[in-house]
Amino acid sequence: MQIEHTALEGVFLITPPRFGDHRGFFSESYSRQKLADHGIDLEFVQDNHSLSREVGTVRGLHFQAPPHAQDKLVRCGRGALFDVAVDIRKGSPTYGQWVGYELSFENGRQLLVPAGFAHGFMTLQPDTEIVYKCSDYYAAETEGALLWNDPDIGIEWPLSGITPVISDKDANAPGVGGYDSPFAWEAAQ
């Protein structure tokens, strides 16, 4: 399992190995022990799976606040997507900064998005499926969102002239400017 640090502390790009032959491939997509061997010790309690039919579907930027904050391990089950994590930890030297990676069925990559980060994605192929593990259960009263195209964050979505397909809720989410985040940054010891 290849685990790469990103520009944001705590966000990792993970590529499980695939073993293929003339029949297809096998991949161990998750191993708690292998992640723990790399200092990532998380317990996941819920798996989510969604389908977005149209290219350019944007979902996010979503998070759950404490006491039900979620770490997420995100992968693409079918198709391809551009996956984004945004640091929303008060006091963090990277507050408001983002990283984004293409996750696809073909490349098998995953993004670990820890609590304290907003998460979003945009589909790059029709009928794209996203599958992700969460470290806490869904709790509607703690869910939050930030504006997907907030200029203060400046995510470079790969729209290429595509009009995004987005929910009213996500289109009307607040920006990060003036946002009072429930997450606090703690310097690594």
Write out the catalytic residue numbers: 62, 132
Helix (H, G, I), strand (E, B) or coil at 140: helix
In the numeric block, which tokens belong to residue 130?
């996203």
Question: 90 vs 100, 117, 179, 187, CA distance in Å?
Answer: 21, 11, 10, 11
DSSP state of 141: G
Q: Give the position of tokens 């293929």.
A: 20
End-to-end CA distance of the chain: 26
CA distance 129 to 144: 22
91: three-class secondary structure by DSSP:
coil
Please say whether the beta carbons of 95 and 89 come within 8 A: yes
* CB-based contact 120:84 (threshold 8 Å): yes
